[in-house]
Chain A
Amino acid sequence: MISYAIYFGFACLALAFAFNLWRLLRGPTVGDRIIALDTMVINAIALIVLFGIVTNDGVAFEAALLLAMVGFVGTVAYCKFLLRGDIIE
């Protein structure tokens, strides 16, 4: 039963990735592209966690945690650059 739920989860997340990619390419403003990339990172974390459930090992969570941190720092750095023209002042 869990395997069917995981198939469903992979399908949903793949579709969500397609939607994010559409918004990333379409724009129209820079903020849209930033939020699309941020959502892609969150969906990638969800995919990694599901993959960890499939392979039944805990190594995937280290990758998920790293991706969560790097994704947040990336989003803030993009916004900071657009707001102030510099990232670390």
Chain B
Amino acid sequence: MIEPGFLAELFTSFLIVLGAGFALVGSWGLVRLPTLMERLHGPTKATTLGLGGILLASVMFFQLTQGAWSAHELLVSIFLFITAPISANMVAKVHLHEERLSETVSVGSAAGKVPASPGAGDWATYEAPHRDTPVTTSDK
């Protein structure tokens, strides 16, 4: 008969190992991948997921040792899950503008150059807002 405490401990250890492994994979992707647009994938997905695993492990651990659920970790993970795409979008925009300014081609990229916009105009980050661009979309 396996006691439930042992299972909880096993699950906590598994979450710690999983989280740290994903954080390592994300940083390895940051080193290994050829261009900035591809390098963005590692930190924004793998590392954020890894941190989520470690925070879940922390919730489990404090439930195990002190018998109380704590919400601080969930606060940190929710905040990170909200902010990671935003910072990735900002870095990607910086990269697009730098690439257009310097006219450099990303060397050795599987993704290749930035494709042309499918519509009539350019990509939104290059253009000023159009006259009929809605300021908000809430009153539609």
Q: Which chain A positions have C-beta within 8 A of B58?
A: 49, 52-53, 61
Q: Is the CB of A43 within 8 A of B27?
A: yes
> In the complex, what residues of A have CB within 8 A of residue B92's CB?
31
Residue among A6, A12, A56, A82 making CB contact with B65, cutoff 8 Å:
A56
Which residue of A9, A39, A42, A75 is within 8 Å of B20 (Cβ)?
A9
Q: Which residue of A lies closest to B61 (CB)?
A: A53
Q: A2-B9, A16-B23, A61-B76 are in contact. Are A42 and B47 (CB under 8 A)?
A: yes
Q: How many interface residues does B have (CB within 8 Å)? A: 52
A31-B36, A65-B79 known; A2 vs B30 contact (CB < 8 Å)? no
By DSSP majority rule, is chain B's interface helix, strand, loop, or mixed?
helix
Asked if A87 lies at the interface with its beta carbon under 8 angstroms from chain B, I say no
> What residues on B are CB-neighbors of A61 within 8 Å?
58, 70, 72-73, 76
Q: Output the least CB separation between A39 and chain B (Å).
A: 4
Residues of the A chain whose Cβ atoms lie less than 8 Å from the Cβ of B91: 31, 34-35, 38, 75, 79
The 8 A CB mask of A20-42 against B (1 = contact, 0 = none) is 10110000011110111011001
A49: which of B30, B43, B55, B98 is its contact (CB, 8 Å)? Answer: B55
Bound complex: CA A87 to CA B13 (Å): 42
Q: Is the CB of A39 within 8 A of B47?
A: yes
Please tell me if the beta carbons of B94 and A64 are within 8 angstroms of each other in the complex: no
Return the contact of A39 from the options B30, B55, B62 (Cβ within 8 A): B30
Subset of 22 A-B contacts with CB under 8 Å: A5-B16, A5-B17, A9-B16, A12-B21, A12-B24, A16-B26, A16-B47, A29-B95, A29-B98, A30-B98, A31-B95, A35-B36, A35-B88, A36-B30, A38-B43, A38-B87, A42-B43, A72-B79, A72-B83, A79-B87, A79-B94, A82-B98
Known: A49-B54, A49-B58. 14 other contacts (CB 8 A): A5-B12, A8-B20, A16-B26, A35-B88, A46-B54, A49-B55, A50-B20, A53-B57, A53-B58, A58-B62, A58-B72, A61-B58, A65-B75, A68-B83
- The 4 A-B pairs with the shortest beta carbon distances in the complex, nearest first, are A79-B90, A16-B27, A9-B20, A5-B13
